[in-house]
Amino acid sequence: MTTDVRKIKTERDIQAAFLQLLVDKGFRQITVADVCGTALISRSTFYAHYLDKYDLLDQMVARYSALFAQRVSVRFQQMIDGEIDALVHSLLADMAENRHAIQILFTVHEPEADLKANFDQMLFKEWQTFIKEQPLEIKAPVDLIAAMGTNVQMTLIDWAVQHGEVSITAVSEAVDTIRKAVLLQITPAKKD
Amino acid sequence: MTTDVRKIKTERDIQAAFLQLLVDKGFRQITVADVCGTALISRSTFYAHYLDKYDLLDQMVARYSALFAQRVSVRFQQMIDGEIDALVHSLLADMAENRHAIQILFTVHEPEADLKANFDQMLFKEWQTFIKEQPLEIKAPVDLIAAMGTNVQMTLIDWAVQHGEVSITAVSEAVDTIRKAVLLQITPAKKD
DNA sequence: GGCTGGGTGTTCGAAAAGCAACAGTTTACC
DNA sequence: GGTAAACTGTTGCTTTTCGAACACCCAGCC
């Protein structure tokens, strides 16, 4: 099996070095030699783990995308139900380990690897299907409202990733107000 | 020669883990398995580098002792000359890299490995020879005054290690006052 | 007493990582 | 346009590290 500590450690080191370099000089400027240098890793070892720097980025983006994918539905439901406190809280709990990496990867936008775009896309689909399930006839275009909802959520996620654990009540209220405004477009007015 | 990155990295990891564990549970409670566990190192690898945990401690203490030994005379002279600002400054500059380790090792007092005792001993010898070189007949026992001087310096070093870079003027003045009092015991009163 | 569990220190073959050299490609500059 | 420098992947061989087993010791416990 893959229980060899060495593999885990070198991949850990490579990825940490990569994130560091993303901050320092940006993806385009990074060379494989750079990564190996700051990770204290041999170049031949790098190629034993990744095809090239694009593959490295891909794998990292894929990993965090998958992580997010596991929870999208839950988070989406929390948003719909107005459990903003719970949403922010569980978001931060999940990310406690990964916040740093996600924060950095959010700044990278490559055609084939864009974590923020992936998150966005997943949420957008959730909104689309949610809206279409609504019994009411709605006047505004589905995709417009879906985009609105997605943006509210992405903004919240971005904020959470940037700020980590902070007192949340003010945030919750602000998000909640906007959330209601969006939902009003697709559901009958009701008491919350 | 021995420029294999792996050796450097594992020793780095082992020593970092060891320092961590010293803080967490203290030297006596540490097992080799502990060190390997937190360093993500195989036990057989540990024994390729060190005989046992005592050897590990020894080597670390020896290293920082040697580092200090290189500079003792200079530092001592700075003290005698009342260049307290310069003393604290160069002390911190030297230790920038090692302050953390030294701070922790200062808390470990094993019969055969005691960094603080080593520092103390080196300074004490400097004071002894310095006092004996003085032309004046002195009334107080040499070792008493030597111990006094050593203590002033050790206290300063301890403070520097704990606090790192801080605004220093108040410290300088305090130390300078005491320093003069000690020197007055062995030299004729003079204008500074 | 005997037994168990956790610690030590050693060994060995297998796996991973290192290093150095390679040809091929891009980049930068005169 | 040409050349030097830097970067890329790849390879063969060496060194280090790993994991798992071993016997041993010692402390606590039934």
Distance CA A13, CA A17 (A): 6
Question: Nearest CA to CA, how far is A40 from chain B (Å)?
Answer: 7
Query: Do A41 and B5 lie within an 8 Å CB cutoff?
Result: yes
Is any atom of nucleic acid chain D found less than 7 Å from the CB of residue A57?
no
Per-residue confidence (pLDDT) for residue A140, from 0 to 100: 83
Using alpha carbons, select from B169, B166, B42, B67 the residue that is nearest to residue B119.
B67
pLDDT at A1 over 70: no
- Highest-pLDDT range among A88-92, A135-139, A177-181, B60-64: B60-64
Measured in angstroms, what separates residue A185's CA from nucleotide C1's C1'?
83
Residues of B in contact with A5 (CB under 8 A): 40-42
Q: Are the C-beta atoms of residues A123 and A153 closer than 8 Å to each other?
A: yes
- pLDDT per residue over A147-182, tens digit each? 999 999 999 999 989 988 766 788 888 888 998 998
Is any atom of nucleic acid chain D found less than 7 Å from the CB of residue B33?
no
- pLDDT per residue over A93-119, tens digit each? 888 889 999 999 999 999 999 999 999
Q: Are the C-beta atoms of residues A46 and A35 closer than 8 Å to each other?
A: yes
pLDDT at A139 over 80: no
B window 117-136: Cβ near strand D (< 7 A): none
Measured in angstroms, what separates residue A54's CA from nucleotide C20's C1'?
26
Distance CA A75, CA A69 (A): 10
Question: Which strand C nucleotides have any atom less than 7 A from protein CB atoms?
Answer: 6-12, 15-21
Question: Nearest CA to CA, how far is A105 from chain B (Å)?
Answer: 27
Per-residue confidence (pLDDT) for residue B190, from 0 to 100: 52
Identify residues of B whose CB sits under 8 angstroms from chain A CBs.
5, 8-9, 40-42
**Maximum Cα–Cα distance for chain A, whole Å?**
63
pLDDT at A5 over 90: yes
B52-88: string of b/e by CB count within 10 Å (b at 16+)?
Answer: ebeebbbebbeebbeebeeeeeebbebbeebbbeebb
Distance CA A56, CA A76 (A): 29
Question: Nearest CA to CA, how far is B30 from chain A (Å)?
Answer: 21
| Closest residue, by C-alpha, to the C1' of C12 | B44
DSSP assignment letter at A187: S
Handedness of CA B116, B122, B125, B129 (dihedral sign): negative
Question: Nearest CA to CA, how far is B129 from chain A (Å)?
Answer: 46
Question: How many other C-beta atoms lie within 10 A of the C-beta of residue B150?
Answer: 23
Distances (CA, A) of A112 to A54, A81, A118, B17: 9, 34, 10, 39
Identify residues of A whose CB sits under 8 angstroms from chain B CBs.
5, 8-9, 40-42
Can you list the residues of chain B whose pLDDT is less than 50? 191-192
pLDDT at A85 over 60: yes
The DSSP code sequence of B125-180 is HHHHHHHHH-SS--SS-HHHHHHHHHHHHHHHHHHHHHH-S---HHHHHHHHHHHH
| Closest residue, by C-alpha, to the C1' of C14 | A4
Residues of A in contact with B8 (CB under 8 A): 40
Per-residue confidence (pLDDT) for residue A99, from 0 to 100: 94
Beta-bridge partners for A113: A110
Beta-bridge partners for A110: A113
Secondary structure of B86-140 in the HEC alphabet? HHHHHHHHHHCCCHHHHHHHCCCCECCECHHHHHHHHHHHHHHHHHHHCCCCCCC
Q: Are the C-beta atoms of residues A135 and A53 closer than 8 Å to each other?
A: no
| Cut 0.85: pTM above it | yes
- The residue that leads in pLDDT, A14 or B84, is A14
Residues of B in contact with A40 (CB under 8 A): 5, 8-9
Single-letter residue type at B172: S
Interface probe for A, chosen from B11, B12, B38, B40 (most Cβ of A below 10 Å), is B40
A10 CA: nearest nucleotide by C1': C17
Coil/strand/helix, residue A86: helix
Domains located in chain A, CATH noted: 1-50 (1.10.10.60), 57-184 (1.10.357)
